[in-house]
Every structure is written in structure tokens, then in C-alpha cells.
Amino acid sequence: MRGVCVSILCVSVILRSAISQPPTESDTYTECTDGYQWDSQTQHCKDINECETIPEACKGEMKCFNHYGGYLCLPRSASVIPAQDPPSQPGTNLESTAREPFNPCPLGYEPQGDSCVDVNECERDEHDCQPSQQCINTPGAFTCQCPDGYRKVGTECIDIDECRYRYCQHRCVNVPGSFSCQCEPGFQLAGNNRSCIDVNECDMGAPCQQRCYNTYGTFLCRCDQGYELGPDGFACNDVDECSYSSYLCQFQCVNEPGKFSCQCPEGYQLLGTRLCQDINECETGEHQCTTGQTCVNIHGAYQCVDTNLCQDPYIQITDK
């Protein structure tokens, strides 16, 4: 009898020994009991390792342990400690050295001295992780980790569509393993690469010809007085004020870039900016009358009148 301990439960397993019959002169005995097979080299019955010969000998989470003449299905976390071999009896042909070695440690561990140590499947390349996955060793097992931006579905790594979670303030562009945020025109990405902040186009060389006003997400062009904004929204074109009305000036309207001016005929001067007033050349001294003449002002001009209005042989003796 051979005692087998499973965790704290001791199980006695009765194993039948194959005792070969001494050959006689008439025949040679080569038949073995169940669980053994004849070994022609050693001329003995050899234990069959059912854990290797029977497909899926143990189902589910059970682990197969081979023993003389049979096998055990025990939980993977169980530890099997074989008892001392009984003293060999004369006449038996069962080899004590023929049994197969087994791992007394739980799955993912291996014996080291009197204890069980974890097996690093990642270092030994004993894992089934995909080439794109990273093998991470854990106590008694391992895990396959996907790169950033991917999630594991079954054994495969599937790209995560981060745009579904609205990480971006404006537009989100999903790319394999990552994503990028984009802003609407007039905005630029903030330091967190997700938010969008207004761009001051006026400080960045906006194409306004005269005045630029920044607004949220855009800008406006404005013109100085006397100009109007062109169809493109950037250029400023001169306004011809003289074409609007013929009453802007008393005499003549002259258009100039960004403004207009009024002009008066010869002999007149501007009164204010639009009216014309006669110039009294006789008072201003801007006439060419001689000392024998009198300057007489008229509209827009003057006349020089001789002082002696009498004809010969008469002379003027009074102004009356």
C-alpha cells in the first residue's frame, strides 16, 4: 500500500503490483496488469503514464498526476506528497525508479528546495501574448497587456476610439492607438492639447488695410472716416462725397483721399468750410489802382476809377 497526501487530505491509494511469473521451460509470461505495459528491454512490466497517453485525462480545472497503475485528477492548487516506498519484496519485477516525476507545486510555480517559487513565463517565453502585447508576470501566472490606446478583446488588441468620450473641445481625430484634437478657424490648441483658445488675428498680421478689431474666434476690419470697406472685407476704398450731393459746397466740391474740400471762384474766399465770401480787394490792398484812381469793390473783383471826373477845360473842385 502507498499513501498519497493531497493538501491536508490524505488519500490511500491501493496500487496493484505487477509481479511477473518466473519463466518456465514451456512459455514466457509477458502479460501485465492494468496500468502497466511490458518492457521488452528490461523484461519487466512498466507503469503507463496515463497523463500523457490519455487525451484530456482530467477535465476542467483539474490537473492530472500519474501514479503506479493509474492516475489522479486533483485541483491545480493541490500538492501531492508521495509516501515512503515500501521495502521491495523478493520476486517483484516493478521498478521503483520507473515512475514519472511530477510537480508538487501549484500551477505557475516550481519547486526550489523546500518551497515553491513563481515561474516567470515572460522571461522563459512560455506565454501566448501577441507580438504587439507586453507580457507581465504575475504570481502563478502572467497577463498580456495592450499598448496605450488599445483595449484587449479576447486575445486581440482593439484600438480605443477616444473621440467617443469627447476629450476635445472642438474636433477630435482618432488615429490607431491615439487621438488628436483640432480647433475651428480662429482658435488654437491650449497647453493641454485638448482645449481651444481664441487667436488674436490682429496681433498676428491680419490683412486689414486700416483698422483691425479682434473678436471671439475671428476678427473685423474697419476703415477710417472717408473710406468704406471693400467687397473682400479687408481693403478700404475712398468715398467720393462729392457724388452724394451737389449742395455740399456753395461753389465747387473737390474729392480727396478720405475727405473732400470746397473751392471758391477767383475773387472769393472760403467762409468756414463750404461757403464762399467776396474778397474786398480795396480793403485788403490787393488792387492795382494808382494814386489818381479810386478802388471800387465789386462781386468777385474790383475797379479802378479815375479821381478827376471833369473833362478839359474843367477841373474837379469838390467831391459833390
CATH number for the domain harbouring residue 223 = 2.10.25.10
Considering the domain architecture, whether residues 6 and 65 belong to the same structural domain is answered as yes
Q: Is the pLDDT of residue 232 over 60?
A: yes
Provide the number of structural domains found in the chain.
5
Q: Which residue has the higher pLDDT, 140 or 56?
A: 140
130 found inside a domain: no
Looking at residue 239, its pLDDT comes to 95
Considering the domain architecture, whether residues 226 and 174 belong to the same structural domain is answered as no
**Which of the listed residues 81, 104, 127 is the one where a domain comes to its end?**
104
Looking at residue 306, its pLDDT comes to 82
Domain that holds residue 289: 282-320
Considering the domain architecture, whether residues 40 and 88 belong to the same structural domain is answered as yes
CATH number for the domain harbouring residue 255 = 2.10.25
117 found inside a domain: no
Residue with the three cell numbers 500538492 = 79
Looking at residue 79, its pLDDT comes to 61
Q: Is the pLDDT of residue 20 over 80?
A: no
Segment of 9-13, 59-63, 83-87 carrying the highest mean pLDDT: 59-63
> Where does the pLDDT of residue 80 fall: very low under 50, low under 70, confident under 90, or very high at 90 and above?
low
> Where does the pLDDT of residue 98 fall: very low under 50, low under 70, confident under 90, or very high at 90 and above?
very low
Considering the domain architecture, whether residues 246 and 318 belong to the same structural domain is answered as no
